[in-house]
Structure 1
Amino acid sequence: MKKLMYVVACILALGFVACGSDDDKNIDCVEANLTLTDAAIALSENIGSTDVCNEYKAAIENVLNNGCSADEESTKLFEEQLEILGDCKFGGRTCLVCTNEEIDLIICRGENGNAFIQERINGETALRDTGVTFDRYVELSACD
Structure 2
Amino acid sequence: MELHSIFLIGGADDETATLRAEERDDACNLELSYRGKVIAASADDFFEALCMVRLGLESDGLLLFCYGSSLNVYPSGMARSMASGKVAYKMQEGRHASKSDLVSIYAEGPDVIPATVSQQREYFNAWASSERA
| Fold equivalence (TM over 0.5) | no
Structure number with greater Rg is 1
Greater helix content: 1
Greater strand content: 2
Taking CA–CA contacts closer than 8 Å with sequence separation of 6 or more, which of the two structures ends up with the larger relative contact order?
A: 2
State the TM-score, normalizing by the size of structure 2. Answer: 0.35
